Amino acid sequence: MNNEPLVHVRDVGKIYRNGPEELHILRGVDLDVDQGRKIAITGESGSGKSTLLNLIGGLDFPSRGSITVAGFRVDGTPEDKLTYFRNRKIGFIFQFHYLLKDLTACENVMIPAYMGGMKKKAAMEKAEKLLEQVNLAERKNFFPAQLSGGERQRVAVARALINAPEVILADEPTGNLDERHSALVADILFDLADTFRTTLILVTHDHILSSRADLQYSLRKGALET
């Protein structure tokens, strides 16, 4: 039996350079997350929370250290392999939904599966089932402009799950919502993470949301603390 953590981050640092000036965003971050666990990372704006998520998801590269997700070495991997990794292993949820305005809710959800090689009919059927699970079956043919903010974010949650990723990376997933819709999206996100036994790593300013996680961390001065 493999006892290795699903997400393994070791001594990760991130430096941004502007001419001779260096901005140290992350300093020697270590993080292990087991399969099916839900963790929350809090911290002040600019503390590096989103940067850490981007590094784990292969959207950026660390200045030093190593990152392994589901047995896949993320740092230093060529872009063509990272594209496969991001499509199959990771589900992204951002503060803004990033739905395509000219596509229906169902079409937005099915895109990652279709782009990953699934037949269009099968991808649409899977998208419809996921929209049922986020209580949007009756909105499947609505365009983003016809949906409320909370509904659009639930579509984004469904889209993140379409390829059955091993890890969901959620960056302030309720940050643009009012209290009622924030609670609804949070309920759905955590319930579906349990249903699919998907590892969830979220960053948030919302301490009510972070308290629902199995483990809580904070980023301070580039270091991760429990």
Within-domain flag for 50: no
d(CA 68, CA 12): 11
90 lies in which domain range? 37-42+77-225
**Residue written as tokens 């269009």?**
120
Q: Give domain status of residue 19, yes or no.
A: no
pLDDT at 130: 97
Number of domains in the chain: 1
- C-alpha 21/C-alpha 200 separation (Å) is 35
Beta strands in the chain (DSSP E): 7-18, 21-33, 38-42, 64-69, 72-73, 90-93, 167-171, 199-203, 215-220, 223-225
pLDDT tens, the chain, 226 aa long: 457 899 999 999 999 988 888 889 999 999 999 999 999 999 988 889 999 999 999 999 999 999 999 999 999 888 888 998 999 999 999 989 999 999 999 999 999 999 999 999 999 999 999 999 999 999 999 999 999 999 999 999 999 999 999 999 999 999 888 888 899 999 999 999 999 999 999 999 888 899 999 999 999 988 999 8
What is the model's pTM?
0.94
Q: What CATH code is carried by the domain that includes residue 175?
A: 3.40.50.300
The answer to whether residue 29 sits within a structural domain is no
Question: Is residue 66 situated within a structural domain?
Answer: no
- Specify if 95 maps to a domain: yes
Structural domain contains residue 58: no
Residue 20 lies in a domain: no
Rounded to an integer, what distance in angstroms lies between the CA atom of residue 219 and that of residue 70?
24
In a domain, 1, yes or no: no
